[in-house]
A and B are shown apart, each in its own frame.
Chain A
Amino acid sequence: MGKSATFERGIHPRYNKELASHKPIARARIPQRVVIPLSQHIGAPAKCEVKIGDEVKKGQIIGSPSGFVSSPVHASISGKVIAIADFPTSAGRLVNSVVIESDGQDEAIAFKESPDYLNLGADEIKSLIKDAGIVGMGGAAFPTNVKLSPPKEKPIDSVILNGAECEPYLTADHRLMNEHPGEVVEGLKIIMKSLGVNKGYIGIEENKPDAIQAIKAAVSGEANIEVCSLEIKYPQGAEKMLIKAIKGREVPSKGLPMDVGVVVQNIGTALAVYEAVRYGKPLIERVVTVTGNGIKEPNNLMVRIGTLMSDVIEQCGGLVEGAVKVISGGPMMGFAQWSLDVPVTKGTSGILVLTADEYAPSDEYFACIRCGRCVDVCPMGLNPSMLSILAEKGFYEEAKDYNLFDCFECGSCAFVCPAKRPMVQFMRLAKSQVKP
């Protein structure tokens, strides 16, 4: 094939994946206490189904979906509900959450297994996925069953599994592909089945040759699943860029992947789908990459949902002297944290701790010198320079004429800006001031 698939523009940040990429997924210890937000997904928060003092078992529903775009939430340990109140999450919001104190038993409810899972009907699959509380695990956390139920007028012909993992430092998907390639592929098959699609792709950036090999071996018998190696470039894993690279299709401006007949799912999500459909296991744990030079012992941990970041960090040796920034997610799109006492949720792909030398201070920035570097890298083909100037001056309506709402805040423009302008902040500011 020669050149590997990719999209236009984009950037080449230092990946720093070697900090954690060779660490096999280890089980984190079961926490003493979990804080489980009732809204870990896009859409309506789950309705609380427990009260203080209730005994709960692992896997038991503690919040039920309250609308079409919503998702149930399950207890991730067994124990007693000791509080139901608003707690801060890693995205910086206060969310009503259920606090469970462990009884040390880790006793689970009975899960409903389906050994014959490949013969289930589409609706059965979707309801199993929904009941398991599965949401996109790449960060956006959109309820998966909703994504698998496109309106009739949008026929889907392909499913793409996103194994690009283009965020620097993060290695959770990489490890999952290495260690559970078979399950990931089964998950993809289930997703394809639920959509009635017979073309599946798994896109993996070339910097993970071992994962490409493992996945290739796992799909060797599958005629309709293709493994695509992708150029190493950020944001290769953004849905629109991935579809462009693999299918050559451009999702229309302001449109969704389903507008071009594609559904994209994350690697972790595929595994969770498999476990939910095959074993009836709800989404109560996920792989979190704990990494960065600010962490003593970087690792990939299987963490129960609701475990506090401070607890996870402690299990990785704690912070080093000089650690200055803790991020939930990757360095390009993740959220910086005020406090480490926020829970790991379904969308937490990583806990990244940066030291003073690796993080970019942003307290001082300059006027745009119009160097055009941001224009050269914006994957959406925007003029970030102009957008940032308009936002800075308060011309929010004008910013719309420059396609403000096509910006998905990937941060590429800010990454290359020599004036160190807080580009993403400008974009968010402008977006918050006008209607799309």
Chain B
Amino acid sequence: MATEAKTQQLVVSVSPHVRDEESIAKIMWTVNFALLPALIMSVYYFGPRAVYVTALCIVTAVLSERLFQKGLKRKVTTNDGSAFLTGLLLGMNLPPSVPFYIPVVGSAVSILIAKMLFGGLGYNIFNPALVGRAFLLITWPKLMTIWSEPTAQFVALDAKTTATPLGILKEEGIVKLLEIFGDKMSLYSHLLMGNRAGSIGETSALALLIGGALLLYKRYITWHIPFSFLGTVALLAWVFGGKGALFTGDPVIHLLSGGLMLGAFFMATDYVTCPTIRKGQIVFGIGCGAITMLIRLKGGFPEGVMFAILLMNCFAPLIDRNMKPALFGAVKAAKK
């Protein structure tokens, strides 16, 4: 009868009865952590204001999600780190000098409109942080394109402003860029370290690569999107990026500037809004790269990463529907 008593407490559920330790929360918090190096570099170059702006984004994001879920009496899921991540990514996509209402409005738009109205995590079509940023760019185009110089002590109200390397490249060409940064090597190293004008978290290519490497190592992302994205940008920059002749462009400048590293490793790889099938992710990455370069070289903006990813987000479901993985036993079934 001892067993009888025990049976009362037995748990019954469908197999499998063991699972691995990954969870949404673990993945999201790791991605947040992987962004830390880039955030640290931005504080180094842009001063404490980088942190204020980012923190405002995060707090607004988490609070909006919480209030939304509480208001609708849904399960509150802000501990999973995804709202935090959206806030963090939005913050890293803003110029350091924006007035403080901008992060608040942007973050609320990201979470409430781009995420919660679609049904919450898993159901949104567009990357929420990028929707927030696009909204801000359209609403406050001036404020969103004032770039402070990357020298911590200057970032006060009278912070000196300048153009981003991509902006200079677009308006005045590579000669001017080299004039400002010295020679090519010095330009590259400025870009790698993040010692240049730009959004808070996008400038240090090196720090972003470190974070990206961590995610690759943990297998939270795979090579498919970042490599096809970066590869396409590099190829197109080399072929079409030169002034005059083909095959004279400088792929390195294009790889290291703008929001490309941040976009390729942290935004295009957003699970919910990219294809699930790896083959499809390559198509997605190539699409992102091609649109980015189209905008950078021919479009009205110096940078196109954000629009490229948002545009490709639309195609993700379509890609998934059309690129099924290779079914085991399919080849022979067809032959018969």
Main secondary structure on B side of the interface with A: loop
> Which B265-280 residues have a C-beta within 8 angstroms of A?
271-272, 274-278
A428: interface (CB < 8 Å): yes
A334 touches B15 (CB 8 A): yes
A380 touches B328 (CB 8 A): yes
26 A–B contacts from the bound complex (CB under 8 Å): A255-B333, A325-B10, A325-B17, A327-B17, A331-B18, A332-B15, A336-B15, A337-B12, A338-B10, A338-B12, A340-B3, A340-B7, A360-B16, A363-B13, A366-B80, A366-B121, A371-B27, A372-B275, A373-B22, A375-B278, A381-B325, A383-B277, A383-B325, A386-B276, A386-B320, A417-B19
- Chain B residues engaging chain A, CB cutoff 8 angstroms: 2-3, 6-7, 9-20, 22-24, 26-27, 77, 80, 119-123, 222, 271-272, 274-278, 281, 320, 324-333, 336
Main secondary structure on A side of the interface with B: loop
- Give Cα distance in the complex from A122 to B79, angstroms: 65
B121 touches A360 (CB 8 A): no
B278 touches A376 (CB 8 A): yes
Least CB distance, A338 to chain B, in whole angstroms = 6
Least CB distance, B282 to chain A, in whole angstroms = 13
Chain A residue nearest in CB terms to B1: A310
Given the contacts A331-B16, A422-B14, A319 and B325 also touching, CB distance less than 8 Å: no
- Residues in chain B near residue A325, CB distance under 8 A: 10-12, 17
Identify the interface centre among A325, A361, A372, A383: most chain B CB within 10 Å of its CB. Answer: A372
Chain A residue nearest in CB terms to B16: A411
A369 touches B271 (CB 8 A): yes
A313 touches B10 (CB 8 A): no
Q: Which of A318, A358, A371, A383 contacts B324 (CB 8 A)?
A: A383
- Residues in chain A near residue B10, CB distance under 8 A: 324-326, 336-339
- Residues in chain B near residue A23, CB distance under 8 A: none
- Give Cα distance in the complex from A325 to B326, angstroms: 36
- Give Cα distance in the complex from A417 to B11, angstroms: 20
Least CB distance, B120 to chain A, in whole angstroms = 7
Given the contacts A372-B271, A381-B327, A336 and B12 also touching, CB distance less than 8 Å: yes
A382 touches B2 (CB 8 A): no
A367 touches B15 (CB 8 A): no
Least CB distance, B38 to chain A, in whole angstroms = 22
- Residues in chain A near residue B320, CB distance under 8 A: 383, 386
A69: interface (CB < 8 Å): no
Q: Which of A251, A381, A385, A415 contacts B16 (CB 8 A)?
A: A415
- Give Cα distance in the complex from A378 to B281, angstroms: 18
- Give Cα distance in the complex from A254 to B331, angstroms: 12
Known: A324-B10, A406-B329, A411-B15. 8 other contacts (CB 8 A): A253-B330, A325-B11, A369-B122, A369-B271, A375-B277, A380-B327, A381-B330, A403-B327
Chain A residue nearest in CB terms to B82: A369
Least CB distance, A306 to chain B, in whole angstroms = 17
Q: Which of B17, B22, B80, B275 contacts A416 (CB 8 A)?
A: B22
A331 touches B26 (CB 8 A): no
Given the contacts A255-B333, A360-B17, A406 and B328 also touching, CB distance less than 8 Å: yes
A279: interface (CB < 8 Å): no
Least CB distance, B325 to chain A, in whole angstroms = 5
B122 touches A367 (CB 8 A): yes
- Give Cα distance in the complex from A247 to B80, angstroms: 45
Q: Which of B17, B222, B272, B327 contacts A334 (CB 8 A)?
A: B17
Q: Which of A13, A240, A340 contacts B329 (CB 8 A)?
A: A240
A418 touches B26 (CB 8 A): yes
- Contact string against B for A residues 342-368, beta-carbon threshold 8 Å, 1 for contact and 0 otherwise: 000000000010100011111100111
- Residues in chain A near residue B15, CB distance under 8 A: 327, 331-336, 409, 411, 414, 424
Q: Which of B119, B327, B332 contacts A382 (CB 8 A)?
A: B327
Chain B residue nearest in CB terms to A92: B12
Least CB distance, B315 to chain A, in whole angstroms = 14
Chain B residue nearest in CB terms to A374: B276
A253 touches B329 (CB 8 A): yes
A367 touches B123 (CB 8 A): yes
- Give Cα distance in the complex from A323 to B17, angstroms: 13
Identify the interface centre among B121, B278, B324: most chain A CB within 10 Å of its CB. Answer: B324
- Residues in chain B near residue A340, CB distance under 8 A: 3, 6-7
Identify the interface centre among A253, A254, A402: most chain B CB within 10 Å of its CB. Answer: A253
Q: Which of A310, A359, A385 contacts B18 (CB 8 A)?
A: A359
A420: interface (CB < 8 Å): yes
- Give Cα distance in the complex from A13 to B20, angstroms: 7
B19 touches A360 (CB 8 A): yes
Identify the interface centre among B16, B121, B324, B333: most chain A CB within 10 Å of its CB. Answer: B16
Given the contacts A13-B20, A370-B276, A418-B26, A324 and B11 also touching, CB distance less than 8 Å: yes
Least CB distance, B15 to chain A, in whole angstroms = 5
- Residues in chain B near residue A383, CB distance under 8 A: 276-277, 320, 324-325
Identify the interface centre among B3, B278, B320, B329: most chain A CB within 10 Å of its CB. Answer: B329
A280: interface (CB < 8 Å): no
